[in-house]
Amino acid sequence: MSKRIETKTILAVTAIIVIVGGLIFKKRKQEEAEGCVFLLLFCSVVFCSLLPLLTLNATTFSVKITLPVWAIQSYDSYQAREYKTDEDCMALAIELSARNMQKGTGGPFGAAIFERSSDGTLSLYAIGTNRVTELNNSTLHGEMMAIQFAQKKRNNYTLKAQDGFPKYELFTSCSPCIQCLGACFWSGISRLVCGATKDDAEAIGFDEGPVFEASYEHLRETGIQTQFECLREQANKVLQDYAKSGVIYNP
Ligand SMILES: [Zn+2]
């Protein structure tokens, strides 16, 4: 909220208080009226003191990050599916990327984090879709969204379990850019599985930044398994479709 709107609000509230105070003063006995006017003045001071805090916190100093409505509405059905193989999990990440493109709610990228229990079973834990263009936020890539929602759900800054399980595996429809690779490093995931490649994304004009094999080697040394080109053809098809009319944004 701008300072201009904020000032207008304060003036409007003050005017209302003065008018109401005046009416009370006119209709009541003087002693009662004085009490009411004093209360009104006290409330107005408190309100005016808190207003900048309330409005600025709601806008300037906070960021609201949301999944698209269609993704929220579909989440229960995604969660009800059976996920047994890498292909099952990747199919969801690709489906998210395709629907995000079709619905016009961001770039052609999707990601999903699965929880692997000690007996090996997989269940969907969080999803993410690229929200860069719709929320005007260059950091909101699919992987970043999925990681943030997973950590919020787990109420922890890391997805790494103290005793090894459950493990969290991130499936992304396209190999991560430099930002998301860094986020994977910090996130506490145990495994990263990618669909389309860096070359596929860059072939349609995106710049994934300085991501090198040595970067992945470092991830593996810290215990994060990596796998590439899972359902690459299907994942790349979404990128190719997007390239026909979608916005290609870059640093
Ligand atoms: Zn990224």
Secondary structure of the chain in HEC code, one letter for each residue: CCHHHHHHHHHHHHHHHHHHHHHHHHHCCHHHHHHHHHHHHHHHHHHHHHHHHHHHHHCCCCCCCCCCHHHHHHHHHHHHCCCCCHHHHHHHHHHHHHHHHHHCCCCCCEEEEEEECCCCCEEEEEEEECCHHHHCCCCCCHHHHHHHHHHHHHCCCCCCCCCCCCEEEEEEEECCCHHHHHHHHHHCCCEEEEEECHHHHHHCCCCCCCCCHHHHHHHHHCCCEEECCCCHHHHHHHHHHHHCCCCCCCC
| pLDDT 10s digits, 210-220 | 999 999 999 99
What is the whole-number distance in angstroms between the Cα of residue 94 and the centre of ligand 1? Answer: 15
The Å distance, Cα 7 to ligand 1 centre, comes to 40
State pLDDT tens for residues 128-177.
999 999 999 999 999 999 999 999 999 999 999 888 899 999 999 999 99
Q: Tell me: the pLDDT tens digits for 188-208?
A: 999 999 999 999 999 999 999
Going from the Cα of 180 to the center of ligand 1, the distance in angstroms, rounded, reads 4
Q: Which residues are catalytic?
A: 143
Indicate whether this model's pTM tops 0.75.
Answer: yes
Between the CA of 55 and the centroid of ligand 1 the distance, in Å, is 31
Distance 64 CA to ligand 1 centre (A): 19
